[in-house]
Structure 1
Amino acid sequence: MAQAARLAAVPAQPAARRSRVAEHRVQAQPGFVLHSYPYKETSLIVDVFSREHGRVALVAKGAKRPHSKLRGVLQTFQPLSVSWSGKSEVRTLTDAEWVGGMLPLEKSALLCGFYLNELLVKLLARDDSHVALFDHYVATLNQLAHGESPPIVLRQFERALLTETGVAANWTVCTVSGRTVEPAQIYVIDPERGVRPARPTDGWPKVSGKTLLDMEHEDYRDVTTQSQSKLLMRFLLSHHLGGAPLNTRQILIDLMQL
């Protein structure tokens, strides 16, 4: 989390009430480019994940011009200090500077990074602040860049994403009994209601109480925990995405069986 702390130290405008009509001007906000696409002849629309303002859409005017200052700056997985103005849903990028201090993602880690970005674009509402999730994102990029196990790192991030967006309750408590889950008992997670004991007719992924407790403590050393958590997170993400496919997830499944 040291990198997250360093990014947080970049001066940023204090967070205010979040709404579709946001602040007129934001200065030097820590952020990352999640995605960008062409806009008119010389500009880009940039989807930015900022620390205190969440996901925002910005017009980067002239960013496609050969000598634009922004041309080499607006790259994915690079820590930035971003400024913008405007109060419409799509604001105007006024400045972006590279902060540095992070290793680049390479090979399979790079593909994992694109998977993280696709999750954030599809699951985060715009203009909702998620400071803890931003810090977790920074930590996850650092873990991937340093060669830590992608399956474990991705499971941890997926769990944090569902928790921070408010769609995952406490998975260590059974909603039927109100008690802590039993390690040896088998459960399912109802996406809308939480954990309950599994039934023979359930078509949802079945997981042991031990797996749920391991996930809560971010302990993925057990191979059964790894296997069950993979199927569980795939199911829950699909539900909350309304069945919409994740392009990078399918590539990761094909290449790495994540």
Structure 2
Amino acid sequence: MRISAEPAFVLHARAWRETSLLVEVLSANHGRIGLVARGVQGPKRHPLRAALQPLQWIRLEAVQQGELAQLRGAEALDAAPRLVGEAMLAGFYVNELTLRLTPRDDPQPDLFAAYARTRERLRALQPLGWTLRQFERDLLDALGSGFDWSVDGDGDPIDPAARYRVDPEHGPRRVLSDRGAGDRSGAATGRALLDLAADRPPVPEDLPGLRRVMRVVLSHHLGPRGLKSWEMLGGLPSSRDRTTGRES
């Protein structure tokens, strides 16, 4: 199958054999595609190499042959965001999460749009914590594993004054107040869940709980093997957005 003039975002590229790359992209019409880019590495810099950097938006030509497609050409459609520090790790996280949870050759137009929005938010240096929670929500929705964050798992409206844990299969479950503070520590406020449902930035003190409940849901779908980016973010002196005090 010929793939022609296909818009895509580069998720990952790694060396393969002596002069080639294995590249993973999220494409507009074919979902995630694995590509073999032959002859792009060597003593002389190949013009295609610059277009195959993570977060780069490209237009590609390829021929699908079994599990992997053979890359025939690619051109950059803009300049990839120049990210440093925690923003760079956030970009790595978005790419790694997309790689781990999306199947190959399954069109995901909503996810493609969500990725494009997230990429621009990272470029614009928007608060990392909220940017990542938005992407996690949109990714789960695109894959059919999301929730209506305005109601709990039984269909009752979320109480903004209550706290909730999130069952990855059932949805939000209210934490009973008589169980004590220890039971509430891994929960998010109802106010934060309603903000997520409304695509409204939560107050800074609500972001840590929202991060924790989303981590529970994502870990369920990822299985026993976590993400390298989680380990990297956990090793930083602070996992908070230094410009806003919000956790990333």
List gaps (5 residues or longer) in structure 1. 1-23
1:37-58 CA deviation, whole Å, 9 max, x = no partner? 2222211111111112111101
The AA in structure 2 aligned to 1:92 is Q
Alignment equivalent of 1:233, drawn from 196, 214, 219: 214
Q: Does 2:28 correspond to 1:47? A: no
The AA in structure 2 aligned to 1:152 is W
User: What is the alpha-carbon distance in structure 2 between the residues aligned to residue 116 and residue 103 of structure 1?
Assistant: 13
| Contact 2:165–2:188 (CA under 8 A) maintained in structure 1 | yes
The alpha-carbon deviation at position 67 of structure 1 amounts to: 4.8
Structure 1 runs of 4+ aligned residues shifted over 6 Å read: 201-204
Which residue is equivalent to 2:117?
A: 139
| Contact 1:80–1:99 (CA under 8 A) maintained in structure 2 | yes
TM-score by length of 1: 0.83
Number of residues paired by the alignment?
234
User: What is the alpha-carbon distance in structure 2 between the residues aligned to residue 233 and residue 118 of structure 1?
Assistant: 16
Q: Does 2:161 correspond to 1:184? A: yes
The alpha-carbon deviation at position 71 of structure 1 amounts to: 2.2
User: What is the alpha-carbon distance in structure 2 between the residues aligned to residue 127 and residue 70 of structure 1?
Assistant: 23
Which residue is equivalent to 2:64?
A: 86
Which residue is equivalent to 2:89?
A: 111
| Contact 2:163–2:184 (CA under 8 A) maintained in structure 1 | no
Which residue is equivalent to 2:186?
A: 205
The alpha-carbon deviation at position 107 of structure 1 amounts to: 3.1
Matches within 5 A, 1:216-227: 216-227=197-208
The AA in structure 1 aligned to 2:46 is S
Other structure's SS at 1:118 match: helix
Other structure's SS at 2:39 match: coil
TM-score by length of 2: 0.86
The alpha-carbon deviation at position 69 of structure 1 amounts to: 2.9
Q: In structure 2, do the counterparts of structure 1 residues 89 and 157 end up closer, same or farther at CA, with 3 Å as the change threshold?
A: same
| Contact 2:168–2:216 (CA under 8 A) maintained in structure 1 | no
| Contact 1:77–1:104 (CA under 8 A) maintained in structure 2 | no
Give the CA RMSD over aligned residues.
2.0
The alpha-carbon deviation at position 187 of structure 1 amounts to: 2.3
Identity %: 36
